[in-house]
Amino acid sequence: MESLVDLIARKRDGKELTREQIERVVAAHADGTFADYQMSALCMAIYFQGMTEPETAALTQAMLRSGEEIDLSDIPGSKVDKHSTGGVGDKVSLCLAPLVAACGVRVPMISGRGLGHTGGTLDKLESIPGFSVDLDVPTFRRIVSEVGACLIGQTALLAPADKRIYALRDVTATVDSIPLIVASILSKKLAEGIDGLVLDVKVGRGAFMKSAASARELAAALVRVGVAAGKRVSALLTDMSAPLGRTVGNAIETREAIEVLRGGGPEDLVAVTLALGAQMLVLGGAVDERAAGEERLRAAMADGSGARLFERMIEAQGGEPRVVEHPELLPRAERLEPVRAASAGVVAGIDALEIGLSAVAMGAGRTRAGQAVDPAVGIELCCRRGDAIEVGQELALLHLRDQADPEAFRTRVRGAFAIADEGAGPAELTPLIIDRL
């Protein structure tokens, strides 16, 4: 039998690892016989040499079996989740989960926190007074059964191998490896006890996948490995060259998601929510085609059933349900500071990465795991791509605490707006829904 060190060398040299060898490595890392520095070396070898599809599937299953798997089979109906690869202004889960649940498909969702320039669903939910994302499995199961949707963080017992390996990847520059991303995402999602999964793979400046080609490669790998695991899986590629919606920041994004639940909200956010939600309803067997799914979701917005389910979910998770009718109960920053245009023209682009990094610098996000975030601060966009603007017109509003100095933030956010001459003609915009797999 080859030693564990031999397995690192095997992958370093571009050779394929067997399912048994991958299972040995994951088990040895769990019991400490395969040290962190050795796992880091293996991740770097995978980063450069890649993995075959059987290897990726084996790694996913080994990481999945490193912890417990939630059994939801005794809960009636289909259980379908959604996963986003991360973006700026992406508050879709907050409105999507209650809308889909209101349409008859249960949504058990294990979400993450923001890291780097991307926001996290858990941070947004925790801007709701009292809301708890740290629930045990029995409570999670009960809420999924009784309410229809529950959003929590990863527990220590779900795919613990992923948590340990991701911590190493994060500090060894091996995050951007498609096989490792696939195994990380699916090991957690398969542990939820779901029947189906819809993936929102973001593409563009504010996403981890900058090109449509790399995003399509990731999406295809996720779909193939998920289907091989016996799940119904589909993926959408969606644009993240500009922020999604009008807001970036935890409480203000939560407020915007509530607007969507109540039949309002910005057009792009509504469109992505409907596209993902319709696909979830198809996978869950509630409708036969996406068009019918979108109709059902729009009805749940119009009749208030999605908003009412969100209230029930908030209350079940210890939060203040009145925020749905009274969003003013969410945390608010003391100051609103305008960012004004220095020149006239047409908004040719809004750099999602710069907006995301600016929000992090203001305190809305984190640069390291465990760092606290301020739920009240953030950036509100006052114009969209293609809008004509005048000198001095508001481009954005900064939601700041009293003690903050707005000037550096104002300069950075202004620089995220590309203003073209009015005679340059309309900017060519990337489609919001780029592809479906």
Yes or no: say if 46 and 179 are a contact pair by the CB < 8 Å rule: yes
Question: Is 340 in the active site?
Answer: no
| φ, ψ dihedrals at 256, nearest 5° | -70, -40
From the candidates 10, 113, 124, 188, which is the catalytic residue? 188
Note the maximum CA span of the chain.
72
Yes or no: say if 334 and 185 are a contact pair by the CB < 8 Å rule: no
Question: Is 335 in the active site?
Answer: no
Give Cβ neighbours of residue 89 (< 8 Å, ≥ 6 apart).
119, 243, 244, 245, 246, 247, 248, 253, 269, 352, 355
CA distance 120 to 140: 19
CA distance 131 to 153: 12
From the candidates 10, 29, 82, 83, which is the catalytic residue? 83
DSSP annotation string for 337-397: EEEE-SS-EEEEEE-HHHHHHHHHHHTSS-SSTT----TT-EEEE---TT-EE-TT-EEEE
Question: Is 399 in the active site?
Answer: no
Question: Is 66 in the active site?
Answer: no
CB atoms within 10 A of CB 213: 10
Residue 48 CA, distance from chain mean position: 26
Residues in the chain: 437
From the candidates 106, 169, 216, 246, which is the catalytic residue? 169
- How, if at all, do strands 378-381 and 394-400 pair? antiparallel
Q: What single-letter DSSP state applies at residue 431?
A: P
Yes or no: say if 134 and 319 are a contact pair by the CB < 8 Å rule: no
Radius of gyration of the chain (CA): 22
From the candidates 81, 123, 162, 195, which is the catalytic residue? 162
Yes or no: say if 154 and 112 are a contact pair by the CB < 8 Å rule: yes
Question: Is 184 in the active site?
Answer: yes
From the candidates 66, 184, 234, 358, which is the catalytic residue? 184
User: Residue holding tokens 């009805």?
Assistant: 299
Residues with catalytic roles: 83, 162, 169, 184, 188
